[in-house]
Amino acid sequence: MTTVSAADDKASSFPSAPAGGLLTTPLHALHQELGARMVPFAGYSMPVQYPQGLMAEHLHTRQSAGLFDVSHMGQLLLRGPQAAQALESLMPMDVQDLGLNKQRYGLLLNDEGGILDDLMFVNRGDDLFLIVNGACKQADIAHIRNRIGQTCEVIALPDRALLALQGPKAVRALSRLLPHVTGLVFMAGNHFDWQGHRLYITRSGYTGEDGFEISVPAAGAEALARALLAQPEVAPVGLGARNSLRLEAGLCLYGSDMDAATTPAQASLGWAVQKVRRAGGAREGGFPGADLVLSELQDPGRLPRKRVGLVALERIPVREPAVLENMDGQHIGHITSGLLSPSLNQPVALAYVQPDYAAAGTQIFAMVRGKPVPMQVTATPFVPANYHRG
């Protein structure tokens, strides 16, 4: 396989924020027009909320359809006959057997089994399409090129934007523009054409609701966003509600709930290490940190800590990085994400605790301004998922 040249490599990398400044997405002018409050995020100027406020945006997404600009995320392609095998060498997932236009969640691991990033990948037939976290995309593409760039082409897509339309009425709104999206099911995607723009749409998202992620050429992003916002079900939603929605869905935020020092089993993401890559599987191991990752899955007693869901037993919001203690006042862990759930009107959190305190129903205490707040370990998601599985 011929890899990209140095010139092509430079041209196909993601842009870096200018010194002392921030990048903007193709929807920047629209955000300003809509009155968004903009904040720095992953090197970009991004909308944290609109005039209606976080609570209204959150509840609107749960009840109808919210439109998110997630163009700060990294989009890239792996291309070549060995691309699936190459990607498998970096992640504990089954890439080679992934069906056409099917999507999976994956964990990019370092040599110690720690999570460099979590991502989504789709088999589109001619290529593998990856979406990685915005704050990690420069490091991700450098890592991927360094590890497998001699085996397959690794092509960044800096000229594409990404929109997420989420909520129980998302399909109703999007199908007015693209009637055939109704044929998609959860974790499946396909190409669509809209007003001369080639889109790639997956039925997936980060809220726990039915919805779609739409990869669109940057030149068509604003027109598509305006067309979606013209639908009666759709309202703009910022990063603040995106965070509260994903926390209610029990989904991790990279950099908060997992990082390069966290293994899949510690993060309670053992389900993301698929059977074919586990001990006794047809393609056992063969990914970075496999010995440790697989040993922790086989013997959970080896874990130094474990991610859990928590609900507060008092209506006192508990936020990161609050310390967790047992009934004897001993330090047993800490909160990594926490807030007052808009849907439940109850404080919820994700946290890491010593394994002895990870069982559902266990009561522990979060220290908030010197006061112990009782919390109980619970299963996630906090709000039931509403994915469309067909």
Is the same domain home to 172 and 50? yes
How many domains does the structure of the chain reveal? 2
User: Could you tell me where the DSSP H helices lie in 50-169?
Assistant: 54-63, 83-88, 137-148
> What is the side-by-side order of every strand in the sheet holding 128-132?
103-109, 115-123, 128-132, 74-79, 153-156
* Residue numbers of the chain with a pLDDT score lower than 50: 1-11
Which residue among 253, 270, 292 closes a domain? 253
Q: Of 191, 219, 253, which marks where a domain is finished?
A: 253
pLDDT of residue 9: 44
Residue 88 and residue 13 share a domain: yes
Specify if 384 maps to a domain. yes
Residue after which a domain boundary falls, among 253, 288, 320 = 253
**Is position 268 within any domain?**
no
- Do 245 and 309 belong together in one domain? no
The reported pLDDT for the residue numbered 7 is 35
Q: Does an H or E element contain 33, and which?
A: helix 28-33
The verdict on 312 and 234 lying in the same domain is no
Could you tell me if 219 and 350 lie in one domain?
no
Closest to 156 measured CA to CA, from 180, 177, 139: 139
**Residue 371: domain span:** 305-390
Please write the tens of the pLDDT for every residue from 234-277: 999 999 999 999 999 999 999 999 999 999 999 999 999 999 99
- pLDDT of res. 39: 97
Closest CA to 195 of 149, 228, 153, 235: 228
For residue 210, being part of any structural domain is answered with: yes
pLDDT tens digits, residue range 320-343?
A: 999 999 999 999 999 999 999 999
For residue 316, report the phi and psi dihedrals to the nearest 5 degrees. Answer: -120, 110
pLDDT for 13? 85
Q: Are residues 155 and 220 in the same domain?
A: yes
The answer to whether residues 75 and 198 belong to one domain is: yes
Task: Give residue 18's pLDDT.
Answer: 80
In-domain check, residue 164: yes
Q: Are residues 62 and 172 in the same domain?
A: yes
Q: pTM value? A: 0.95
Listed residue (142, 170, 158, 138) closest to 62, CA to CA: 170
Residue 88 lies in a domain: yes
Residue 367, in any domain of the structure:
yes
**Residue 202 sits in the same domain as residue 96:** yes
pLDDT at 248 (0 to 100):
98
- Residue 166: CATH number of its domain: 3.30.1360.120
What crossing angle do the helices spanning 218-229 and 170-177 adopt, rounded to 10°?
Answer: 120
Q: Are residues 168 and 71 in the same domain?
A: yes
Q: Is residue 107 part of a domain?
A: yes
94 plus 156 within the same structural domain: yes
Same domain, 46 and 164: yes
Q: How far apart are CA 384 and CA 390, in angstroms?
A: 17
How far apart are the C-alpha atoms of 99 and 24, rounded to whole Å?
35
Within a domain: 258: no
Task: Report the CATH number at residue 357.
Answer: 2.40.30.110
Rounded to a whole number of angstroms, the CA Rg of the chain reads: 21
